[in-house]
């Protein structure tokens, strides 16, 4: 699907979708247990992949029939069964990593695959960790990429793993470790990137009654634990990663004297709430009513800033777009790991914003957007089959001169299926083709 966006001013209230990160973890946590209800979940292409994985392992995930936003999960009681078929994770990297460690607990072999993009993403360190823990973990092509074969009733133990490739490796091991016989101790070989995502994991596990210990070397979780949220229910908070596009839209395109108000901003462990600090550092007047869960952002004259995205890789596309509108240089540092997402988001944003007239300098671990040398103009751009690239380019289209057409816009279904409806409700002129 192509979506064409015209220069627009925005105002009004909208709501962020529920957190994708929390929803993934909550669905699988409920799957590890006996029975639980996940309320306010994000139901998207990615989270549906995690639902199917729970089904494949012998559980079930059903949407409530009463019209409320609830998922009723019948779990597989700690140890997954061997699926009848391969587990297709589609485009969801979170699903594949979490399910890799889960599948390694099965008394048999589990085959995991995904689409072309997912089959190109690195899984080798997690497979090595599974083998070090006494299970089986192999890449069918021997290159550390899917399709993967895991299993062997992994007993647990101590494992070392790099922390600078994907925090999802640590999340996967901690979630699986709680139901192993021996538990799992994770020693980090390198500095942990995207650390707030592990904080999210720890928060969810604790809410499901699972204890995790932070050690001098990394993390540890004892075995023989059970997953059971208090009262049998777990509520998913709003998603700050998705919120970032709505907040950016207000900062660059709100009508004079008006603001964009984003609902659903409940405090949580999400590292991407750092978007508020980024906007503040660029000169935006951001007001967060934590009790009401609302953030208000009017348009501002933005100035460039320097941001380290080591812990917040998903914010890079949003920050790059803000930098193209701001005066001066915006420098995004420590971003090499952002190249291993659905696409190489560093190059994708450099190239696609470049088509719109942005002056950008790309280095391996740094992206600099030269705002003073940039006048955004409408162009045809490629969303790169990446939801975050699509939404960030849509924000750029609000202030570009002329029309901006984004190819592959349907990929917002991965994390924010109603994104275009949301910005249209704020006054954005767009058409779908």
Same domain? 69 vs 195? yes
Q: Which of 235, 268, 283 is the last residue of a domain?
A: 235
Q: What is the pTM of this model?
A: 0.85
Cβ count within 10 A of residue 236: 27
Give yes or no for a contact between 308 and 275, defined as CB atoms under 8 angstroms apart: no
Do 398 and 405 touch, CB atoms closer than 8 A? no
Q: Which two tokens stand for residue 317?
A: 């596309």
pLDDT at 66 over 90: no
Q: Are residues 317 and 384 in the same domain?
A: yes
pLDDT at residue number 67: 59
Band of the pLDDT at 64, cuts 50, 70, 90? Answer: confident
Residue tagged active-site, from 40, 314, 382, 386: 314
Q: Is 84 known to be catalytic?
A: no
Mean pLDDT of 140-149: 97
Residues 221 and 253 in one domain: no
Residues 327 and 218 in one domain: no
- Is-contact 206 212, C-beta < 8 A? yes
Kindly state the tokens that stand for 408.
Answer: 């592959």
Residue 49: CATH number of its domain: 3.65.10.10
Summarize pLDDT for 219-252 with one digit per residue, the tens.
Answer: 999 999 999 999 999 999 999 999 999 999 999 9
CA separation for the pair 397, 67 (Å, rounded): 35
Query: Domain span at residue 204?
Result: 20-235
Label each residue of the chain as H, E or C.
CEEEEECCCECEEEECCECHHHHHHHHHHHHHCCEEEEECCCCCHHHHHHHHHHHHCCCEEEECCCCCCEEEEECCCCCCCCCCCCEECCCCHHHHHHHHHHHCCCCCEEEEECCCCHHHCCCHHHHHHHHHCCCEEEECCCCCCCCEEEECCCCCEEEEECCCCCHHHHHHHHHHHCCCCCCEEEEECCCCCCHHHHHHHHHHHHHCCCCCEECCCEEEECCCCCCCCHHHEEECCECHHHHHHHHHHHHHHECCCCEEEEECCCCCCCHHHHHHHHHHHCCCCCEEECCCCEEEEECCCCECCEEECCCCHHHHHHHHHHHHHCECEEEEECCHHHHHCCCCHHHHHHHHHHHCCCCEEEECCEEEEEHHHCCCECCEEECCCCHHHHHHHHHHHHHCECEEEEECHHHHHHCCCCHHHHHHHCCCCEEEC
Last residue of a domain, one of 202, 235, 268: 235
Residue ranges for the known binding site are: 20-21, 25, 93, 121, 166-168, 194, 314, 341, 345, 388
Report residue 102 CA to chain centroid gap: 19
Q: Are 133 and 157 in contact (CB under 8 A)?
A: yes
Q: How far apart are CA 282 and CA 301, in angstroms?
A: 8
Residue 68's pLDDT is what?
Answer: 64
246 in the same domain as 227: no
Which of 214, 152, 227 has its CA nearest to residue 185? 214
Contacts of 121 (CB under 8 A, 6+ apart): 93, 96, 145, 146, 340
35-39 and 70-74 as β-strands: parallel, antiparallel, unpaired? antiparallel
Q: Are residues 243 and 214 in the same domain?
A: no
- pLDDT tens digits for 102-129? 999 999 999 999 999 999 999 999 999 9
Same domain? 207 vs 338: no
Same domain, 269 and 387: yes
Q: Are residues 44 and 13 in the same domain?
A: no
* 366-370 vs 306-308, strand pairing mode: unpaired
| Residue ranges at the known binding site for 3-phosphoshikimate | 20-21, 25, 166-168, 194, 314, 341
**How much is the average pLDDT of 6-13?**
98
What pLDDT is recorded for position 165? 87
- Domain end point (choices 235, 252, 278): 235
Q: Please give the pLDDT value at position 69.
A: 86
List the structure tokens of 230. 């208090």
Q: Which residues contact 78 (CB under 8 A, 6 or more apart)?
A: 32, 33, 179, 226, 227
User: Would you say 140 and 147 are in contact if contact means Cβ atoms under 8 Å apart?
Assistant: yes
Shared domain check, 28 and 6: no
Cα 257 to Cα 309: distance, rounded to the nearest angstrom: 32
Which positions make up the binding site for phosphoenolpyruvate? 20, 93, 121, 168, 345, 388
Total of domains in the chain: 2
pLDDT, one tens digit per residue, over 165-192 is 899 999 999 999 999 999 999 999 999 9
The pLDDT mean for the chain works out to 96
Residue listed under structure tokens 């083709």? 433
pLDDT tens per residue across span 344-385:
999 999 999 999 999 999 999 999 999 999 999 999 999 999
Q: How do residues 386-430 score in pLDDT, each as one tens digit?
A: 999 999 999 999 999 999 999 999 999 999 999 999 999 999 999
pLDDT for the residue numbered 102: 98
Of 172-176, 207-211, 266-270, 361-365, the range with the lowest mean pLDDT is 266-270
Whether 97 and 146 share a structural domain: yes
pLDDT digits (tens, 9 = 90+) for 280-339: 999 999 999 999 999 999 999 999 999 999 999 999 999 999 999 999 999 999 999 999
409 and 392 in contact (C-beta within 8 Å)? Answer: no
Q: Name the residue among 399, 423, 429 with its Cα closest to residue 260.
A: 423
120 and 185 inside one domain:
yes
């Amino acid at each position: 699907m192509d979506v064409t966006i015209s220069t627009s001013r925005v105002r009004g209230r909208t709501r962020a979708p529920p957190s994708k990160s929390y929803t993934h973890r909550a669905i699988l946590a409920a799957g590890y247990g006996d029975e639980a209800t996940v309320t306010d979940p994000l139901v998207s292409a990615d989270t549906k992949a995690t639902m199917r994985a729970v089904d494949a392992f012998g559980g079930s995930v059903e949407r409530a029939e009463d019209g409320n936003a609830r998922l009723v999960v019948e779990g597989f009681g700690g140890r997954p069964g061997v699926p009848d078929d391969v587990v297709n994770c589609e485009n969801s990297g979170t699903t594949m990593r979490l399910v890799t460690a889960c599948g390694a607990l099965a008394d048999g072999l589990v085959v995991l695959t995904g689409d072309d993009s997912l089959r190109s993403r690195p899984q080798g360190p997690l497979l090595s960790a599974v083998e070090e823990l006494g299970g089986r973990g192999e890449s069918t092509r021997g290159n550390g990429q899917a399709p993967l074969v895991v299993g062997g009733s992994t007993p647990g133990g101590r494992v070392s793993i790099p922390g600078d490739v994907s925090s999802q490796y640590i999340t996967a091991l901690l979630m699986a470790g709680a139901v192993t016989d021996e538990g799992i101790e994770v020693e980090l070989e390198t500095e942990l990137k995207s650390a707030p995502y592990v904080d999210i994991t720890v928060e969810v596990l604790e809410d499901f009654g699972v204890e995790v210990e932070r050690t001098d070397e990394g993390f540890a979780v004892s075995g023989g634990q059970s997953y059971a949220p208090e009262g049998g229910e777990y509520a998913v908070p709003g998603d700050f990663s998705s919120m970032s596009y709505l907040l950016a839209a207000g900062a660059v395109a709100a009508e004079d004297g008006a603001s964009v108000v984003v609902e659903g901003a409940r405090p949580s462990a999400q590292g991407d709430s750092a978007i508020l600090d980024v906007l503040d550092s660029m000169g935006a007047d951001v007001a967060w009513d934590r009790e009401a869960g609302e953030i208000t952002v009017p348009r501002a004259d933005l100035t460039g800033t320097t941001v380290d995205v080591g812990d917040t890789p998903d914010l890079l596309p949003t920050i790059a777009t803000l930098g193209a509108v701001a005066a001066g240089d915006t420098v995004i540092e420590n971003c090499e790991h952002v190249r291993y997402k659905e696409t190489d988001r560093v190059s994708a944003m450099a190239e696609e914003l470049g088509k719109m007239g942005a002056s950008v300098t790309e280095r391996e671990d740094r992206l600099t957007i030269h705002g003073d040398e940039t006048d955004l103009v409408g162009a045809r751009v490629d969303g790169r089959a990446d939801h975050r690239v699509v939404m960030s380019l849509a924000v750029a289209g609000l202030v570009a001169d002329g029309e901006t057409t984004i190819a592959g816009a349907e990929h917002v279904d991965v994390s924010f299926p109603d994104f275009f409806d949301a910005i249209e409700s704020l006054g954005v002129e767009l058409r779908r083709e």
